[in-house]
Amino acid sequence: MAKRSALQRGVGVALWRQIADGIRQGIATGLADETGRLPPEAELAQRFGVNRHTIRAAISALAHEGVLRSQQGRGTFVRRQKRLVYPIGERTRFSAGLSDQAHETRSEMLSSSIETAADPIAFALGLEPGDRTIRIETLGNADGVPVSRSTSWFSEARFPGIADVYSRVGSMTEALEACGVTDYRRASTGVEARHADESDTQELQLAPGAIVIVTRAMNSDLSGVPIQYSVTRFPADRVELVIRGDGATFEGPQLGS
Amino acid sequence: MAKRSALQRGVGVALWRQIADGIRQGIATGLADETGRLPPEAELAQRFGVNRHTIRAAISALAHEGVLRSQQGRGTFVRRQKRLVYPIGERTRFSAGLSDQAHETRSEMLSSSIETAADPIAFALGLEPGDRTIRIETLGNADGVPVSRSTSWFSEARFPGIADVYSRVGSMTEALEACGVTDYRRASTGVEARHADESDTQELQLAPGAIVIVTRAMNSDLSGVPIQYSVTRFPADRVELVIRGDGATFEGPQLGS
DNA sequence: CAAAATTTGTGCGTATGTATC
DNA sequence: TGATACATACGCACAAATTTT
- The pLDDT-based confidence of A247 (bands split at 50, 70, 90) is very low
pLDDT of residue B5: 55
The torsion region of residue A205 among left (phi > 0), alpha (psi -120 to 50) and beta comes to: left
Give the pairing of strands B84-88 and A105-116. Answer: unpaired
Higher pLDDT, A53 or B28: A53
Closest chain A residue to B137 measured between Cα atoms?
A255
CA-based nearest residue to B66, from B127, B7, B145, B11:
B145
Which residues in chain B have their CB less than 8 angstroms from residue A241's CB?
Answer: 190-192
Q: What is the mean pLDDT of residues B136-160?
A: 91
Question: DSSP 3-state assignment of B229?
Answer: strand
Closest chain A residue to B230 measured between Cα atoms?
A252
> In angstroms, rounded to a whole number, what is the distance separating the alpha carbons of residues A201 and A152?
20
CATH number of A15-78: 1.10.10.10
pLDDT of residue B92: 66
pLDDT of residue B214: 94
- The pLDDT-based confidence of B3 (bands split at 50, 70, 90) is very low
In a 13 Å sphere around the CA of B244, the CA atoms on its Cβ side amount to 21
Task: Please indicate whether, in this complex, the C-beta atoms of A251 and B120 are within 8 angstroms of each other.
Answer: yes
Say yes or no to pLDDT of A152 above 90.
Answer: yes
At the fourth CATH level, the homologous superfamily of domain B84-243 is: Chorismate lyase-like (3.40.1410.10)
Q: Is A17 in the B-facing interface, judged by CB distances under 8 Å?
A: yes
Q: Residue A250: which of B124, B191, B192 has the nearest Cβ? A: B124
pLDDT of residue B124: 85
- The pLDDT-based confidence of B257 (bands split at 50, 70, 90) is very low
Dump pLDDT digits (tens) for A185-233: 888 889 999 888 778 888 998 877 788 999 999 888 888 889 999 999 9
What sign has the CA pseudo-torsion B162, B165, B167, B169? negative
Q: What is the mean pLDDT of residues B235-241?
A: 89
Q: What is the mean pLDDT of residues B53-80?
A: 80
Mind giving me the DSSP string for B146-202?
A: EEEEEEEEEETTT-TTHHHHHHHH--HHHHHHHTT---EEEEEEEEEEEE--HHHHH
Say yes or no to pLDDT of A110 above 70.
Answer: yes
Q: Do domains A15-78 and A84-243 have the same CATH topology?
A: no
Helices B41-48, B52-65: axis angle to 10 degrees equals 110
What is chain B's mean pLDDT, rounded?
Answer: 80
User: Considering only A224-233, A243-252, B163-172, B230-239, which range has the smallest mean pLDDT?
Assistant: A243-252
Boundaries of every domain in chain B: 15-78, 84-243
pLDDT of residue B137: 95
Q: Is A224 in the B-facing interface, judged by CB distances under 8 Å?
A: no
Which residues are paired to B68 by β-bridges? B78
**H-helix segments, chain B:** 15-27, 41-48, 52-65, 94-98, 119-125, 162-169, 172-178, 198-203
Say yes or no to pLDDT of A246 above 70.
Answer: no
Q: Is A144 in the B-facing interface, judged by CB distances under 8 Å?
A: no
Say yes or no to pLDDT of B249 above 50.
Answer: no
Give the phi and the psi of residue B235 in degrees, each rounded to 5.
Answer: -70, 125
> In angstroms, rounded to a whole number, what is the distance separating the alpha carbons of residues A255 and B154?
16
pLDDT of residue A180: 85
